[in-house]
Chain A
Amino acid sequence: MPSPRYWREIPNRFRLEAARCTGCGTVAFPARTICPKCRGRELESVRLSRHGKVVTSTVVRVAPDEFMMEAPYAMAVIETPEGARLMTQVVDCDPDTVGPGMEVDLVFRLIRKEDHGGILCYGHKAVPVGG
């Protein structure tokens, strides 16, 4: 990912900043300027909770080159208490134990390195609560 795009996404990648529609209450992540549900244009900034539940998941065994060292790893769609959904890696666990309903904390981690001398890209990943 080019550095400028990564930089633009810092609010949602670093701080889990989302947008809540003041009309229907829908929380969109990443933040949007138009509500994806009611098309309302009045949205307020809200930070997601740093925890959630796995909605669905899979295990990546043949990874892209830059994630080769991490394979096998779990990818999951996480739903936060605000109703927002985001897709993240689930780490610090056996990937085969990740499944729907698993409670996770969202933690700040290194996502990838932009080749050998490039920038380091950070964001959030999920870690199972208590194990």
Chain B
Amino acid sequence: MAGIVGYGAYIPRNRIKTEEIARQWGKDPATMSRGLLLTEKSVPGLDEDTITISVAAGQAAIDRAGIDPARIGAVYIGSESHPYAVKPSGTVVVEALGIAPDVHVADFEFACKAGTEAMFVALGLVDGDRVEYALAVGADTSQGAPNDALEYSASAGGAAFVFGKTDPLVDVLETYSYTTDTPDFWRREGEFYPRHGGRFTGEPAYFKHVIAATSGILEKSGMAPKDFRHVVFHMPNGKFPQSAGKQLGFTKEQLEVGWIVPTMGNTYSGSSPTGLAAILDIAEPDDLILITSFGSGAGSDSFVLRATSLLPERVKRAPTVKEMLDGPRRYLTYGEYAKYREKIILNT
């Protein structure tokens, strides 16, 4: 099976603390932070969107792959915040990265799992020898309505993966997908903010799909939770992935590296892919890694991966997730945040 020959991530420098949002709406900051296990989240600048995040993450992935970008034959961008309703984000991305014009391009949307959806298709095309390399991106500038629970988590960032058969940094050993019609979270055409079913987003949606997909791939691969060094699940908040991991028999140590939601927030389509990038930043050869995404609507994709001996030497070719999370950052007031997220109506 084909593998990941390059990967990269991008997280904007702006941040807002959970307590700043809680104070704005008269909520107790400590209660909100403890309840969601979130301390802060990333915020896109006025000049950052899914396209710019995809270019930054994609460039890092190409740098780590060390390949001529013109050899990439397919580019798929998974997001629920594509800047255009009609005009693919991928068209801008392939021009900026020097991939165009001999390339198949599409934008994917499946709530928070559009990134792994893109990975799944990119992997399949390389596996089937339709293209030499394929680039898959999961990126979002997530939407959350003011004073909604989502506002504490909806953040910005993403990750990109180049799939190929030559010199993989990570082997893909198995894949599995699980999908049903579950209306837990949605955004109708023309609506600015998504709506959700409150607690309905938990048991019948997130947990059912994450657990079914993970159990499915474990059975299909003949592996057990103890076989894995690292595991990452979609991270809508701090608690859900911890709880899913516990139910499936994974330890906190296995979840620790990919569990970046407390300081990054939920980057929707970029959530579990960016968690995977954080794992690849520190993984050692032969480490087994499991990723399970979740997209409302609803479905989950799972991948079993194994790091190769090439991975450690390629990490330094681009910024790591930890460097971006702990590096230069600017903390916003709620007023600045409202301006940056264009929540203020102007008389222009």
Q: Are A108 and B96 in contact (CB under 8 A)?
A: yes
User: Which residue of A is nearest B330, CB measured?
Assistant: A92
Most buried by B among A107, A125, A131: A107
The interface residues of chain A lying within 8 Å CB-to-CB of B95 are 10, 14-15
User: Which residue of A is nearest B12, CB measured?
Assistant: A92
Q: Are A92 and B13 in contact (CB under 8 A)?
A: yes
For chain A, residues 39 to 62, give those with C-beta under 8 angstroms from any C-beta of chain B.
47, 50
A15 to B59, CA, bound (A): 11
User: Which residue of B is nearest A66, CB measured?
Assistant: B348
A37 to B288, CA, bound (A): 57
A109 to B55, CA, bound (A): 9
For chain A, give the interface size range.
20 to 34
Q: Does B52 contact A (CB under 8 A)?
A: yes
For chain A, residues 1 to 44, give those with C-beta under 8 angstroms from any C-beta of chain B.
10, 14-15
Q: Are A122 and B45 in contact (CB under 8 A)?
A: no
User: Which residue of A is nearest B83, CB measured?
Assistant: A120
- If the complex has contacts A15-B95, A92-B13, A92-B330, are A122 and B52 also in contact, measured as CB distance less than 8 A? yes
Residue interface mask B307-348, A partner, CB < 8 A = 1: 000000000000000000001101000000001000000101
Q: Are A14 and B330 in contact (CB under 8 A)?
A: no
Q: Are B328 and A111 in contact (CB under 8 A)?
A: no
A-B CB contacts (within 8 Å), total count: 56
B210 to chain A: closest CB distance in Å?
33
- If the complex has contacts A65-B348, A130-B328, are A70 and B92 also in contact, measured as CB distance less than 8 A? no
The interface residues of chain B lying within 8 Å CB-to-CB of A120 are 49, 51, 83-84
Q: Are B52 and A69 in contact (CB under 8 A)?
A: no
- If the complex has contacts A69-B46, A111-B47, are A122 and B92 also in contact, measured as CB distance less than 8 A? yes
- If the complex has contacts A122-B96, A130-B328, are A69 and B47 also in contact, measured as CB distance less than 8 A? no
For chain B, give the interface size range.
20 to 34
Q: Does B256 contact A (CB under 8 A)?
A: no
A109 to B290, CA, bound (A): 33
Residue interface mask A109-131, B partner, CB < 8 A = 1: 11100000000101001011011
Q: Does A86 contact B (CB under 8 A)?
A: no
A109 to B56, CA, bound (A): 9
Q: Are B48 and A69 in contact (CB under 8 A)?
A: no
B174 to chain A: closest CB distance in Å?
35
Q: Are B49 and A131 in contact (CB under 8 A)?
A: no
Q: Does A91 contact B (CB under 8 A)?
A: yes
B280 to chain A: closest CB distance in Å?
22
Q: Does B183 contact A (CB under 8 A)?
A: no
Q: Does B98 contact A (CB under 8 A)?
A: yes
Q: Are A110 and B96 in contact (CB under 8 A)?
A: no
B13 to chain A: closest CB distance in Å?
5
The interface residues of chain A lying within 8 Å CB-to-CB of B59 are 50, 108
Q: Are A110 and B49 in contact (CB under 8 A)?
A: yes
Q: Are B339 and A109 in contact (CB under 8 A)?
A: no
Additional pairs, 15, CB under 8 Å, beyond known A122-B92, A130-B328: A15-B95, A47-B98, A50-B59, A69-B339, A92-B328, A107-B52, A107-B56, A108-B55, A110-B48, A110-B51, A110-B83, A127-B13, A128-B328, A130-B327, A131-B328
Chain B residues packing against A (C-beta within 8 Å): 13-14, 45-49, 51-52, 55-56, 59, 83-84, 92, 95-96, 98, 327-328, 330, 339, 346, 348
24 contacts between A and B (CB under 8 A): A15-B96, A15-B98, A50-B59, A68-B348, A69-B46, A70-B46, A70-B47, A91-B45, A92-B14, A92-B45, A92-B330, A107-B56, A108-B52, A108-B55, A108-B56, A108-B59, A108-B96, A109-B48, A110-B48, A111-B47, A120-B51, A122-B51, A127-B13, A128-B328
